[in-house]
Amino acid sequence: MVDVDKYTKTGATAQQKSHADGKQAVDLKNIRVAIYPKGKYWVAQGFEIDYTAQGKSVKDVQRAFEDGLTATIHQHLKVHGDIKNCLKFAPVRVRLAALEHAFKTQGALTAKFSQFSVHDVNVQIEYMALPAAA
């Protein structure tokens, strides 16, 4: 049985519990994600987790990020049997680019998100939606 407990200084956590029946429960909390416009699309960039998604709207990019992150977690479980490498910060240049959008764009929004999938994955994300510049 694998148990993983990872914590960052920013408060993000990744926990995995393995059960005797072979099921794995994964709980991610306080994962911050910046959402900002880039051309005619929206980009969602994770900070504590190096994952990015793209969509045509804020709602679309949120859904793409959630679905893709869930699939990534399941792939880690399938290939490695654990999530030890999931909670890995995005590269500094990527985080700085996302923050630059945040500081240059007025009306930044933050929201909390939580999800539980049928695959025993619970994800809680804090989004920062950044509207297109006027």
Q: Is residue 47 part of a domain?
A: yes
Q: Is residue 98 part of a domain?
A: yes
Q: Is residue 134 part of a domain?
A: no
125: CB partners within 8 A, 6+ apart = 28, 31, 32, 33, 65, 66, 112, 113, 114, 115
Matching residue, tokens 């990527």: 94
Nearest Cα to Cα of residue 2 among 87, 61, 68, 82: 82
Q: Is residue 69 part of a domain?
A: yes
First-to-last C-alpha distance (Å) of the chain: 53
pLDDT tens digits, one per residue of 99-121: 777 677 654 544 444 444 334 55
pLDDT tens digits, one per residue of 66-112: 999 989 888 888 888 888 877 788 888 888 887 777 677 654 544 44
* DSSP annotation of 89: P
**Chain mean pLDDT for the chain:** 77
Q: Which residue range(s) make up the domain with 39? A: 3-129
What's the structural domain count of the chain? 1
As a whole number of angstroms, the distance between CA 101 and CA 94 comes to 11
